[in-house]
Amino acid sequence: MAKQPTFDASMRMVILHGKEQFLMKRYSEMLKDALEQAYGDIDVVTFDGDNTDLATVLDEVRTYDLLMRHKLIVIDKADSFVASKDSSKTSPRKALERYAASPVEHATVLLRASTWRPGNLDKAVGKIGLVYKLTQLSESDSMRWCVGRALKAYECECQPNAAQLLVQKIGTSLTRLDHELQKLAAVVGESKVIKQEDVVQMVGLSREEQAWEIQSVLLSGDLKIAMSKLGELLHVSRQPKELLMWSIVDLTRRLNATSELLDCGRSQGEIRKSLKLFGPSGDSIIAKARSHKTRDLAALFTHAVSVDVKTRSGLLEGEHGLEQLTVHVCEQLRS
């Protein structure tokens, strides 16, 4: 795992950037704790970088707290804030660079952003504080994190195979993993052991399992059932349109790739391993690829990609694009 940052009360500016919100919250609390250890109770003021201006932020930074407490000034969406312009056309990024050269002693400024463009501000902040990028953990690191987090936060043993399955189902988002660990710890109760079967019973379908829900009905070629399932996934299960579009495009990609490999004389075992076609779903895809011409499946894949591009660019509304693509895929696979 990446080494976690170290904070101390002498820091006058800190930049935390990255998409892992669990770590963003944790490291912000670590900075706050370091300041409280040195100054006692502190005043925390938070700004939304999309809806504040430079003058307001600098006024808050330079103004003493009424109780003479140290201030922690937090600017969320800091990437938007530093890229904005105020009424005097002053660049917040440049202004913060100048501020970093002579910061006030009674305040610490924390910039938080999911994305960040490095520059001279980073160099200036590095001299009086810290710039730290939050990195997404790998699957193996996320599994180890689950084991440690369950023990430390919830006083539960999370068995390694349970942690492995949890990461496979949820992904590497620590926020989502922590939510599921909290839920599992409550369910296992006095046993204090999270087992693989607990994850199977309590955690939702993985991305691949969710994808198969729409892929399986599309392979049947039954338009009525496919449209019903699409409506259910969109409006009852509340599945993201992006996930469903990915599922359909992925199905057409694997059908086309399977057909091409069959034409090349590859064995069924080789195809399964190459395209990760496992279980009954793999049988269905191979069977459907055998019954259709490669050029037709290639055209189907190309069409699916083009619809996906239109929805991403806004040329086609997401749900309408899904409906159109569902109709087209069913028609082609039924023929």
Pair (63, 167) in one structural domain: no
Query: Could you tell me the residue range of the domain that residue 73 belongs to?
Result: 13-133
Confidence category of residue 86, pLDDT binned at 50, 70, 90 = low
Instruction: Return the SS3 of 131.
Output: strand
Backbone region of residue 238 per phi and psi (left: phi > 0; alpha: psi in -120 to 50; beta: other values): left
Within 14-91, residue ranges assigned H as helices are 21-39, 54-62, 78-83
pLDDT greater than 70 at residue 289: yes
Instruction: Return the SS3 of 187.
Output: helix
pLDDT in tens, 307-319: 999 998 989 999 9
By CB atoms closer than 10 A (0-12, 13-18, 19+), residue 67 is exposed
Pair (249, 285) in one structural domain: yes
111 lies in some domain: yes
Instruction: Return the SS3 of 193.
Output: strand
203/265 Cα distance (integer angstroms): 40
The domain boundary, picked from 133, 151, 185, lies at 133
The domain boundary, picked from 116, 133, 150, lies at 133
Q: Sign of dihedral through CA atoms 233, 238, 241, 242? A: negative
Instruction: Return the SS3 of 262.
Output: helix
CATH number where 149 lies:
1.10.8.60
pLDDT in tens, 92-146: 999 999 999 999 999 999 999 999 999 999 999 999 999 999 988 888 999 999 9
* Cβ count near 173 (within 10 Å): 17
pLDDT at residue 2 in the model: 62
2 lies in some domain: no
**Average pLDDT over the chain, rounded to an integer:** 91
Comparing 147-161, 184-198, 274-288, the range with the smallest average pLDDT is 274-288
The helices-and-strands tally (H runs, E runs) of the chain is: 16, 7
7 lies in some domain: no
Pair (104, 153) in one structural domain: no
Mean pLDDT over residues 33-59, rounded? 95
Pair (152, 112) in one structural domain: no
Comparing 8-17, 127-136, 147-156, 277-286, the range with the smallest average pLDDT is 277-286
Mean pLDDT over residues 278-304, rounded? 91
pLDDT at residue 76 in the model: 97
CATH number where 96 lies:
3.40.50.300
Total number of domains constituting the chain? 3
